[in-house]
């Protein structure tokens, strides 16, 4: 699966992900509150400048915003007809700003940085049993499962077609049952590699391991491989 | 939460993404299309139970947030999580949780009809948050945004029927929900 990340070495690429997220949250909130079309236009211009600084090409912007542009045009027309042109302008500008600014973060931040940010954002939820260190593993597993599911789904559909099954979606139940068996195996494999109760220790951590239970030799698998 | 639960959570997140890869199915009568991704949400709720299903849908949101094009039509990125239709995506964990809770409640005496009720409630719960955010972010009167659910309803009925059949089938072949305890955690 291809990430939407666009490689680069600009100032915006080098800004830490958490800072970009913070700026996005603050600006996003401000944009939802500010009712002035002029101020919003300035904000939009700043976003455009940021895109230029990040060196993001027009083609990337077009690909990311194609879907939303239709929305903006329709809703602006709607607001123009039913309320006022000022409101139409404000609403259109707000959506464009939010989506463009958020997409800028997406295209200038690597997936690993974003995963690390997601993990740290999950830390407060630890008291409800959420394990932030598991988020990265879950993301990697999900990405690995996608092509497998596509493949298995195609196989089952082919087998059913050979037997003359024509009804749509009859492949879903067998696909899920097969996938659940597979998940069982994956769960066992994870357990065998020491992903039990102990927190996953970062590679290269020194000192005694508080989470070590059984043979410590298999307690820390290379986390970059499944 | 055991490693197997992580695998299951990841599996249903992946299934939801995979369902987004299938082309939109046009509904000839009303001219609207419906996306299959909420089917993934319903199946997660009905097969994994509330706890794991909620985590699974949160994982889908995380996949979108880290910039993977996993939403219907190859869309993704933070833009989708703040845009006008973001409310629908953010309510997936809630819908999955509701469906999961109801299926867990009825687990011992689950019938396709009950599974359908659980699925339709999960689907309809998306309307509340989805349309509220749509109305707020587009500055459209609530009454207008609220009526757009009519377009989605036929699709949601079809998806809920489908989900009910699959949930009951999978329950017979591979039950994962343990009733009366906290979803095997």
- Express each pLDDT in B71-128 by its tens digit: 877 778 888 888 888 899 999 999 999 999 999 999 999 999 999 999 999 999 988 8
* Alpha-carbon distance B70 to nearest alpha carbon in chain A (angstroms): 9
- Predicted TM-score of the model (pTM): 0.81
Which residue did the predictor score with more confidence, B138 or A42?
A42
pLDDT in tens, A26-40: 998 898 888 899 999
Contacting residues for A187 by C-beta, under 8 A, at least 6 apart: B2, B3, B4, B5, B6, B7, B8
What pLDDT score was predicted for residue B52? Answer: 94
Reported in sequence order, the residue ranges of chain B that DSSP labels E, i.e. its strands, are: 25-26, 33-34
What pLDDT score was predicted for residue A218? Answer: 47
Residues of B in contact with A145 (CB under 8 A): 10-11, 13-15
Task: Please report, rounded to a whole number, the percentage of residues in chain A having pLDDT higher than 90.
Answer: 28
Bridge-partner residues for B26, per DSSP?
B33
pLDDT band at A197 (very low <50, low <70, confident <90, very high): low
Residue A210 DSSP SS3: coil
CA distance B36 to B20: 6
What pLDDT score was predicted for residue A225? Answer: 47
The answer to whether B79 and A106 have CB atoms below 8 angstroms apart is yes
| Closest in A78, A95, A145 to B10, CB measured | A145
Dihedrals phi, psi of B75, to nearest 5 degrees: -95, 160
CA-nearest residue to B140 within chain A is A79
| Closest in B3, B59, B138 to A139, CB measured | B59
CA distance A107 to A60: 9
Residue B175 DSSP SS3: coil
| Closest in A67, A182, A190 to B6, CB measured | A190
The residue whose two tokens read 């990040």 is A54
Q: Both tokens of residue B68?
A: 């993977």
Q: Both tokens of residue A49?
A: 């400048």
- B157–chain A Cβ distance below 8 A for any pair: no
Q: Do B65 and A172 touch (CB under 8 A)?
A: no
For chain B, positions 39-78, list CB contacts with chain A under 8 A.
Answer: 43, 47, 55, 59, 62-63, 65-70, 73, 75-78
| Closest in B2, B17, B81 to A187, CB measured | B2
Residues of A in contact with B176 (CB under 8 A): 180
CA distance B56 to B123: 16
Q: Do B6 and A3 touch (CB under 8 A)?
A: no
How many interface pairs between A and B have CB atoms less than 8 angstroms apart? 187
Query: Percentage helix, strand, coil, to 5, in chain B?
Result: 70, 5, 25
Contacting residues for A30 by C-beta, under 8 A, at least 6 apart: A43
The highest-confidence range among A110-124, A134-148, B78-92, B158-172, by mean pLDDT, is B158-172
Q: Do A24 and B18 touch (CB under 8 A)?
A: no
Long-range CB pairs of A214-218, under 8 A, 24+ apart, other chains included: A218/A192, A218/A193, A218/A194
């Amino acid at each position: 699966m291809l990430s939407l990340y666009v490689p680069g070495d600009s100032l915006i690429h080098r800004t830490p992900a958490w800072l970009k997220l913070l700026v996005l949250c603050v600006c996003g909130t401000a944009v939802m509150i500010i009712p002035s079309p002029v101020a919003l236009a300035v904000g939009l211009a700043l976003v455009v400048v940021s895109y230029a600084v990040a060196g993001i090409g027009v083609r990337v912007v077009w690909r990311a915003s194609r879907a939303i542009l239709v929305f903006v045009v329709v809703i602006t027309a709607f607001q123009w007809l039913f309320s006022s042109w000022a409101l139409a302008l404000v609403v259109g500008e707000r959506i464009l700003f939010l989506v463009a600014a958020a997409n800028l973060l997406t295209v200038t931040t690597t997936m690993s940085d974003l995963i690390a940010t997601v993990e740290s954002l999950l830390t407060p939820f630890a008291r409800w049993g959420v394990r932030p260190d598991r988020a990265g593993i879950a993301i990697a597993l999900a990405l690995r499962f996608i092509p497998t599911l596509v493949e298995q789904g195609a196989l089952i559909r082919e087998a059913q077609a050979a037997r003359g099954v024509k009804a749509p979606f009859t492949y879903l139940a067998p696909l899920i049952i097969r996938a659940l068996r597979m998940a069982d195996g994956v769960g066992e494999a994870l357990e065998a590699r020491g992903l039990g109760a102990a927190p996953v220790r970062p590679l290269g951590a020194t000192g005694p391991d508080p989470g070590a239970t059984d043979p410590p030799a298999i307690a820390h698998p290379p986390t970059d491989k499944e | 939460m055991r490693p197997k639960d992580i695998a299951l959570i990841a599996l249903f997140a992946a299934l939801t993404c995979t369902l987004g890869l299938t082309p939109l199915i046009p509904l000839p009568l009303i001219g609207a299309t419906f996306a299959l991704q909420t089917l993934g949400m319903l199946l997660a709720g009905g097969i994994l139970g509330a706890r794991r299903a909620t985590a699974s849908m949160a994982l889908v949101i995380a996949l979108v947030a880290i910039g993977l094009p996993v939403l219907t039509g190859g869309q993704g990125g933070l833009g989708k999580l703040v845009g006008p239709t973001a409310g629908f995506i953010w309510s997936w964990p809630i819908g999955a949780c509701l469906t999961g809770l109801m299926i867990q409640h009825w687990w011992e005496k689950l019938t396709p009809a009950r599974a359908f009720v659980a699925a339709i409630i999960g689907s309809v719960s998306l309307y509340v948050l989805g349309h509220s955010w749509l109305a707020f972010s587009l500055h459209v009167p609530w009454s207008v945004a609220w009526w757009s659910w009519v377009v989605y309803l036929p699709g949601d009925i079809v998806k809920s029927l489908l989900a009910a059949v699959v949930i009951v089938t999978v329950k017979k072949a591979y039950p994962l929900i343990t009733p009366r305890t906290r979803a095997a955690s």
